[in-house]
Structure 1
């Protein structure tokens, strides 16, 4: 796939303009670094000699500091540093660095006609890198523009932005040249791009205390540098037990010098951290504006006075003390109070800054209950940025309202890739995929949310990959399309590990995050996946085990200098995630087998315990050994044994059961499709000639000693993989059908399992009917439930104003189907984009169709979240994903509990968070990363039919279709694909 990025490269003579394509999806500019000299190229390093770097001593401190970083980065790559010269005289053969209007060096070149900066002058964070005579010039439109240009060179010569935070190895080279030309970087599409260090205890705080004596300026300078190397500019500092401005007064000073815009979190107004209030609470009084306004205004005024000379975005309004809703629950009263709060805060800004508040960047976070206030009509002045939020688990709650598109302050997004709180914690490991990030951030950006993107990243580690993607994507969301997300992953891996194993690493990281997103570790449960239907648990376990095997095998091929980075970014998250998933699978099988009386239940209990010990060892290796103990304490989050949203005190195993064997051998039988064991009904699911299924019978020993058994079918066309055996614990027998000899129509038979005088009958049902002739491309069968991946359509038809497109890697399976553009107008079925699927239905009558869609939030309340479905020429049935979720006291319950949500709306976080209430596993559509919509469709006659899916609202993303859901055989993922 060709990269959809083009850049104008103006040759230094200023006469020719060429369009060049970026070499990868990480870089905004083409790769101008070479390792051999060409005509006109600039030498950074060759033959042990490095170019000098010249910077005006009166330029911004952050520029001078970054120039020194570049000099040292040259050393990292070549072993010889580039000397730094602080002067205003041009030096032949040197790298000239400076900011327009701040650097005499750059202004000399401009005034002398050697450097044309018209394209970047007075622009936001833009820069040009150009060969000028025998010099290389890095000129920025402003402080950060210059710094970004510096770090662009650093990354291209081989120093990853993650050299410190992930121990990414430096790509060594002795010769470095810049190809002759002019490389211009335009301003970012998203103005403020940053991260929020949050939920920082025990890991980040423990690490900082160990290595830096606390969360102080020594820690923050590393974060500032990372952000700048990623071309980001904005930070919300750690706030759980910390006060950025007061814990270390040098922190805000250095942030400003580095060039980082500082803010405070969504509930910390006026540059005041919560901890600054709590330690003064006795003197200030209650956090209640109705009763204590004057003291709070004084507190806020002092905060602004302290920080007014720095580059900030001021959080406005207020929530209750401790990041909770304020007041006594009366929204109208709260809105009235908050309007006064904002008015008074604006007056404080006017007095402190001595100018119109409209000239001072501010934001209002529309978070949790505040969205209700916004929806009820509360608003803030037009110059204040509206910061919309996601639902805490990565699905945005609003696209940009049309009436806000001309807003002077614009709109922003607060987004979580880490969560401590409702609906449940999601902290320990990365559970976010790049395709999901692309889909959600593209949805936000295309609608007009482009002033601020701030991302809750928890401890920063181990969220390196999603941080990298979001910060790069924010610069130009048009530069990476949905079908380039895999290219990004390969380029990300290449940037850290080199090309040789990049594709393999990209696949490992993509897969582990995808599997985690299918079921995040903190909400794992022993009963999520089915152990008796569709081999679901086995398939999930095999996915994890195969991934682990690949990661372990690849580790042996990784160069020594890259092993620390490989463990942090690949091996640990793969193995540890797989271990947690398998612990719950082992516990689930133990619970089931103990219920059935199987002695082998004890083996699975032991397996869970082994994996629990392995989890400890993996964390210990991370904390104590990699990078010489550099990351001590960083991997300290408790991640096993969650019973409620908050972190447990310690890791613990799910409940395990031990089975005491009977004194003598005793026959037990369990069959596929049932959680029961004999004594009781033993009936296998139906066999049919179309799918030619193979099912199993488990014969097990409930007691001590050897058990001899025989198995015999009463029909010659019933085939058994074994007819006798001697077992200590258990043996699996497979059953299939010789269809050439099986009777026409519905048939049946018995398999008799014998042990001494014990006889267990297993019922067999078959169906042999004619299958569709001449049709090879269809889904369906005789045996009820079947599924269709959304991207396996037979026909795709565009609508009047939109079309369905494949979104690779999104969702649980290979891909999803989404709408392009997502800004399209809602449609009606006759004008809508349409997908068609050929299906075989063996009977007429009512057929249930389940549409599995992503749990998109109520992002545009004015129009719904609708999709339509029909069969053949039948009338389309329009389904609204919001139906049944708006009434705060109403539950939505589908017949199949294993697919239902049974949700009670929680308007503070969205409408789909409540846990089901019948003693079943933790299940919601957000936890499941899937929402099911069902429709009953009328089938006129048996045979091949066309199932049609229509876009009604453009934000709905289709992941899977399940036809004829068979509630007798429930599962988490549904029947696997068959055709």
Structure 2
């Protein structure tokens, strides 16, 4: 064998000067930490991985970490997947020309000798946490890591760049085939991650994950876990909380912790399982250990904890401290003062155990304390733990963080961490079936955490892992360097993610479908669907939601036909199933809600809607069966087993069940029925007057009239207007067997000026119904800028449709694309800005036209940001024109004006007019529909009354007070007569004058 020659080294030196410049010019995407250094054609100086049927050998020192040697073998296999010729792995400490040399600094003679000979410069990574270099060195390629995981990450960086997705196993992502692979000349340095511990929590694992593991591996054991370890490492993650419902990671299979350590995974236990002991380990020996009560059984619990720690002390662990009650509930009898003292005693005892087991100061052993549920209350009351313990803050279980990093904690030795849910089994409600989390939401929340110092640990509850692949991918990549993906790059990430799995051809289309299905799920997740959520008579709301899902499903189905055969299984898992199944569940509830309404009105077509709901229910079964029993040679058997239809409380039902459906018994002969937009009544048979909502010349509305049959057979109808300016969309007569929809519009050139009314007479059989039509034909206001508003009451404004965006002294409003339900939201940049006063606050101006003076209600729709800084509140301000702004505290109440907030009391909100208590649904006036809440809606409504002096053009001004609030929508003059879930659709009117 030949050693690296001096000539080869000299050649490398000549190339080195331009290496960094070349690296900077390489293609980069949001998935990759480093630019793309792999190419498929030979250029001068490039290192050949494989070409012409020959693959370079892979050298690794046999004394290096076992995990490094294992990953080196993965690289050899990956090269074979791509080129059909795998790379042979050779364990030796002498270099070979033309080889890939892999090793860990200080652990590999291969690497240490190159450093000693000054052939490679590792000063940028040596001694750092999880960093690496990839460098061409003459006729060699060097992958050198600062530590075990750094080397492994470098190996898998090459694997991903040659065309093997981290999701090749967990989502059956196809491998990108190539005949030749080269590494461009250069030295590519990957610094340490910005978030130190980055990992997932396998939770909610029964029936799906547990059933799948049992079917494929005989149980939740090391055979299953090694695939998870590998996925984490390929995603450059390092931390795992294992399945714990009915499982004990360390005891079910003693090889699980051994292999976790060999692979390089840091192990922990969930937020309520202290000292490396699973809850099930306690329940399995409850009689032996004694009660889970430290006040009465301290000695039993301390021995239990010490035994567990002794068992795991030689592995790489991050120890959970403290305790909750048995079964992840609040401990004690509800006395906070007593519980706080008990927790202090618990942590002190646990620290003593750590000192004895590790024979070192506890400050040298990584620990965390989870500030979860009631523990948050204890923390707020002053309970704290030693400075070297990481404070693990938590979200509200549905993806909104409960605390930003407190200023007084940001310098603590243990740092700050975050426990976050993209899957939830528990209160406020389950969210565990398919993915319901969008990348823009993740980016907004994790950026808020990171920018405020929460960067030591990010641990994410991912349920069964599948089908949460996309958000897992984003969070793990984002955690390495949150500064690398801005709010404006979330679409880029989605496209890059899709391209990394399916290739570039369909990447944008796939990215858009996946983005939209998760976005639509955020409107109302499957587990909290209800037939009464969306309005069936106002603003065509239910029809609009139905159309969104229908169009998206059609796109996903059409694209499936074009997807290459080798990618179809991945496409079903990541795109088609979650899209089509989510749409099916949404339509089940829409069909049920319309069925209930139509049955109340006596429509025979109600029965068709019940049948449709039943067909969709069966389709849902078939979609899950295909996932479990057909794709990927039944690899994912049982994985899609979660019950997801028919929730009545937070916990999973025993089986899927349809919402209540009604059946109509048709009358023995055909009978006329009429329903109109804006009302749930039907005529004849209702005492109220049949009346369409008002038409006005500014908005030029179109409203519908439904003519329907209440009996068997069919009937002829006629529909005639008594005014020539009332236009009916279809012929004035026809035949109705079930339903016929007519649309009514106004010919504004013929309509009288001012207010006018007319009638539409509808006859069928022996019945007749008169429908009132009211119009307002007034001229549009004269304005040089676009505006919202009109003559007909309620109107809404998307936050991003402002007329002016005025920067403040320390912050500005910025557009956050695709966040929320519509095109995006407006948030604050930077999120760490200080609270503002009227003089220095950033402001958004919206031009509006108001047809009435007096008290006007303005409803601000904001993201349900939690009480992240309880001492200060969570505030935003609103004004009309030049009036004094009114401050609204989203979590406490509101005060009258900015003047009541001096700079001295900005830190402590004065609550003069309290909002409903915490937990009360925030909603637009008149819109408190069944099971509505800010968490389920992913939107919180803040109402404020403003005094409008006169009619005409005005400006609504929205001021930042606290930087964490994100504005989605403004609704003005909410009309209780026409309630809806999302408010009136927005209509922006064009300017009528030149600028």
1:442 aligns with 2:450: no
1:803 aligns with 2:812: yes
Partner of 2:690, secondary structure, is: coil
Deviations 1:619-667 (A, max 9, x none): 0100011001000000000000000000000001000000000011211
Structure 2 counterpart of 1:111, from 99, 116, 131: 116
- Does the aligned pair in 1 maintain the 2:894–2:915 contact within 8 Å? no
> Aligned in 2, Cα 1:174/1:192: closer, same or farther, shift over 3 Å?
same
Deviations 1:137-187 (A, max 9, x none): 000000000000000000000000000000000000010000011000000
Give how far 1:607 is off.
0.4
1:13 aligns with 2:16: yes
> Aligned in 2, Cα 1:694/1:958: closer, same or farther, shift over 3 Å?
same
- d(CA) in 2 for partners of 1:649, 1:508: 31
Give how far 1:918 is off.
12
Structure 1 counterpart of 2:964, from 926, 934, 955: 955
- d(CA) in 2 for partners of 1:917, 1:711: 33
Partner of 1:450, secondary structure, is: strand
- d(CA) in 2 for partners of 1:818, 1:268: 37
- d(CA) in 1 for partners of 2:368, 2:801: 44
- Does the aligned pair in 2 maintain the 1:904–1:913 contact within 8 Å? no
Structure 1 counterpart of 2:374, from 351, 369, 372: 369
Deviations 1:64-105 (A, max 9, x none): 000000000000000001001000010110000000000000
1:716 corresponding residue in structure 2: 724
1:905 aligns with 2:908: no
- d(CA) in 2 for partners of 1:66, 1:913: 51
Structure 1 counterpart of 2:697, from 689, 695, 701: 689
Partner of 1:395, secondary structure, is: coil
1:967 aligns with 2:976: yes
Partner of 1:43, secondary structure, is: strand
> Aligned in 2, Cα 1:718/1:443: closer, same or farther, shift over 3 Å?
same
Give how far 1:938 is off.
1.6
- Does the aligned pair in 2 maintain the 1:335–1:373 contact within 8 Å? yes
- Does the aligned pair in 2 maintain the 1:10–1:183 contact within 8 Å? no
How many corresponding residue pairs?
953
Partner of 2:979, secondary structure, is: coil
Structure 2 counterpart of 1:533, from 523, 530, 538: 538
1:751 aligns with 2:760: yes
Structure 1 counterpart of 2:503, from 495, 498, 511: 498
- d(CA) in 2 for partners of 1:663, 1:912: 45
Pairs within 5 Å for 1:74-85? 74-85=79-90
- d(CA) in 2 for partners of 1:913, 1:335: 32
Partner of 1:96, secondary structure, is: strand
Give how far 1:14 is off.
5.0
Give how far 1:775 is off.
4.2
Q: CA RMSD in A?
A: 1.8
1:486 corresponding residue in structure 2: 491
Deviations 1:299-355 (A, max 9, x none): 000000000000000000100000000000001000000100000000000000000
- d(CA) in 1 for partners of 2:324, 2:13: 51
Give how far 1:905 is off.
3.3
1:785 aligns with 2:788: no
Deviations 1:738-791 (A, max 9, x none): 111211211111112122442211111111112113545111111011111101
2:875 corresponding residue in structure 1: 866
> Aligned in 2, Cα 1:884/1:725: closer, same or farther, shift over 3 Å?
same
Structure 2 counterpart of 1:938, from 919, 942, 947: 947
Structure 2 counterpart of 1:830, from 835, 839, 852: 839
- d(CA) in 2 for partners of 1:925, 1:105: 58
1:704 corresponding residue in structure 2: 712
Structure 1 counterpart of 2:414, from 409, 425, 428: 409
- d(CA) in 2 for partners of 1:179, 1:922: 58
Deviations 1:671-697 (A, max 9, x none): 000011112221110000111111111
Pairs within 5 Å for 1:423-822? 423-678=428-683, 679-680=685-686, 681-721=689-729, 722-775=731-784, 777-822=786-831
Partner of 1:238, secondary structure, is: coil
Structure 2 counterpart of 1:241, from 224, 236, 246: 246
Give how far 1:922 is off.
1.0
- d(CA) in 2 for partners of 1:231, 1:591: 51
- d(CA) in 2 for partners of 1:939, 1:98: 72
- d(CA) in 2 for partners of 1:517, 1:936: 29
- Out of 628-637 and 675-684, give the one that drifted further: 675-684
Give how far 1:850 is off.
0.7
Partner of 2:176, secondary structure, is: coil
1:153 aligns with 2:158: yes
Partner of 1:221, secondary structure, is: helix
Give how far 1:50 is off.
0.1
- Does the aligned pair in 1 maintain the 2:672–2:765 contact within 8 Å? no
Deviations 1:514-536 (A, max 9, x none): 00011101000001000000000
- d(CA) in 2 for partners of 1:840, 1:10: 70
TM-score (norm 1): 0.96
1:924 corresponding residue in structure 2: 933
Partner of 1:962, secondary structure, is: strand
Give how far 1:874 is off.
1.2
Give how far 1:919 is off.
10
Structure 1 counterpart of 2:91, from 64, 82, 86: 86
- d(CA) in 2 for partners of 1:744, 1:539: 32
- d(CA) in 2 for partners of 1:31, 1:53: 21
- Does the aligned pair in 2 maintain the 1:684–1:762 contact within 8 Å? yes
1:342 corresponding residue in structure 2: 347
> Aligned in 2, Cα 1:303/1:912: closer, same or farther, shift over 3 Å?
farther
2:178 corresponding residue in structure 1: 173
> Aligned in 2, Cα 1:918/1:697: closer, same or farther, shift over 3 Å?
closer
Structure 2 counterpart of 1:878, from 882, 887, 904: 887
- d(CA) in 1 for partners of 2:809, 2:760: 58
Deviations 1:1-58 (A, max 9, x none): xxxxxxxx99853576424465100001010001111111100000000000000000
- d(CA) in 1 for partners of 2:948, 2:921: 32
2:77 corresponding residue in structure 1: 72
Give how far 1:917 is off.
14
- Does the aligned pair in 2 maintain the 1:120–1:186 contact within 8 Å? yes
- Does the aligned pair in 2 maintain the 1:885–1:905 contact within 8 Å? no
> Aligned in 2, Cα 1:913/1:117: closer, same or farther, shift over 3 Å?
farther
- Does the aligned pair in 1 maintain the 2:31–2:493 contact within 8 Å? yes
- d(CA) in 1 for partners of 2:714, 2:574: 48
Partner of 1:136, secondary structure, is: strand
- d(CA) in 1 for partners of 2:613, 2:211: 28
Q: Which runs of 5+ in 1 are unaligned?
A: 1-8, 887-900
> Aligned in 2, Cα 1:522/1:885: closer, same or farther, shift over 3 Å?
farther
- d(CA) in 1 for partners of 2:320, 2:948: 57
- d(CA) in 2 for partners of 1:902, 1:668: 44
- d(CA) in 2 for partners of 1:597, 1:902: 41
